[in-house]
Amino acid sequence: MSRNLTLAPMSGTVLARATAGVASLVLAATLTSCSFSLGELEPVGGETSAPAEEAPAEETDTAEQDTETGTTEDAAEEPADTADSQNVLPMPASEALTWGSDNYWLSGTGDALYRLDWTPSSDMTLELTHSGSSNFIIVTYGADETRYASIVNEIGAYEGSVTLGDLPLLDGAEAVDYLHIQADGPWTIGR
């Protein structure tokens, strides 16, 4: 008994599924051949920070004199506890301005630290603008002054929105108490 097999043209649904399957395989092969890793978000410029509005209190010497041994050590060679300094508020909490519950917009120029006088929610969307030419970074901190997540980290002029529920906040958006803004130009934040 012999059968003759004939190929019939594929219908629209079968053709669409076959095309989608091939596209999925191509995408999977492309993605598996990519190599990337995510690390700590760092502002552009490495270890340098934005200039402070106040001059530092007599910390202009980079070398320290050891009075007992008479040797000079460069302060930059001493190991710094960078993990702790990067994960806590960049300035004392007492210097934070208050973002009151009756204000829906903040605006400013340059760096600022705000303590929230209201409780954010996961479905809250923040509208952000920046018209500077350098870094625009907003980082969230909790009541214990520990860093949570960056809301935005862009260079130059920026206009966009961020839903707090989309951020990697382990304790949820409700745990955010502070916003630290780093900018070199005018910015706005609306809720």
- Structural domain includes residue 25: no
- Structural domain includes residue 139: yes
**Mean of the pLDDT values across residues 85-107?**
90
- Structural domain includes residue 10: no
Task: Give the pLDDT confidence of 137-171 residue by residue, as tens digits.
Answer: 999 999 999 999 999 999 999 999 999 999 988 78
Task: Give the pLDDT confidence of 125-139 residue by residue, as tens digits.
Answer: 999 999 999 999 999
Is the Cβ–Cβ distance between 17 and 24 less than 8 Å? no
Nearest to 181 by CA among 37, 50, 32: 50
* Structure confidence at residue 62 as a pLDDT band (50, 70, 90): very low
Task: Give the pLDDT confidence of 46-61 residue by residue, as tens digits.
Answer: 444 444 444 444 444 4
pTM (two decimals): 0.56
Q: What pLDDT does residue 9 have?
A: 57
Check whether 95 has a pLDDT greater than 50.
yes
- Structural domain includes residue 119: yes
- Structural domain includes residue 66: no
Q: What pLDDT does residue 137 have?
A: 97
Tokens of 91: 């300035």
CA dihedral 38, 43, 49, 52 (to 10 degrees): -130
Higher-confidence residue: 86 or 88? 88
- Structural domain includes residue 135: yes
Task: Determine the structural domain holding residue 176 and report its residue range.
Answer: 104-191
Number of structural domains, the chain? 1
CATH at residue 171: 2.60.120.380
- Structural domain includes residue 133: yes
d(CA 173, CA 165): 7
- Structural domain includes residue 144: yes
